[in-house]
Amino acid sequence: MPELPCLYLADQAHLPYGPRSSDEIRQLCVGATQALLDQGARLIVIACNTASAAALEHLRASFPALPFVGMEPAVKPAALHTRSGVVGLMATRGTLQGALLRNTAARFAGHVEIVASDCPGLAEAIENEADDLAAQLRGHLQPMLARGADTLVLGCTHYPLAIDLIRQIVGPDVHVIDPSPAIARQVERLWNGPRSGAPDRFASTARPEHLGNFLRQRFQTDSTVESWVWHNNTLISPASCLPSP
């Protein structure tokens, strides 16, 4: 949907979300949502499994007029696809401990074995293109393969950025599920705003130059990245005024 105007906000000041408490994540998500609303957002994708697990229902209750599209590990299609009956799941601790995953697994994957890894530090390694990224991935993937997993769920939105390397490690007989296409289809179903073709905007709460370099290298997108700042639990965009002390 390249014709949809998109504002991408990277809360790099609080990376990673995985080890943070649910209360803290909910507070961050409320602040980010309000800032995006102030910029005219009509629909919000929570492009983080950990944030979705901790805050999706809270956000829907707090902003009832605003449609949200959340992420959850794709264990339902994995359970339908597996032939061995063993599904590998790469996710953060917050996602694995969340009720969203437990409920989905109980409803749709009770007949399969889920071999999960909370992958500490992997999101940061992908973000920073660490030299030992392949070794880290092998450390998480080999135990799943040894248990007979023939289907792999990428349960963090960083992980698809390394999907080619992951596929090299697991081999052609393991089906790797990236949830991104399903998320895009849900956005298209829910979107009722204009399709203006307005330019995309990008913002970071900590490292705008890092995000700008990443966009140029990975997506050949030469866009200026806006710097947004947290101030007393309020996220301030350039078009906003700092609140009084």
Q: Show the DSSP H helices in 109-207 as ranges.
A: 122-127, 133-146, 163-170, 180-190
Measure the CA–CA gap between 27 and 23, rounded to whole angstroms.
6
Tokens 């790469």 label which residue? Answer: 90
| Active-site pick, 6, 29, 48, 119 | 48
Measure the CA–CA gap between 217 and 211, rounded to whole angstroms.
10
Whether 156 is catalytic is yes
Give me the DSSP letters along 94-130: HHHTSHHHHHHHHHH-TTSEEEEE--TTHHHHHHTT-
Residue 232's alpha-carbon distances to 167, 206, 207, 229, 243, in angstroms, are 43, 15, 19, 10, 9
Catalytic residues: 48, 156
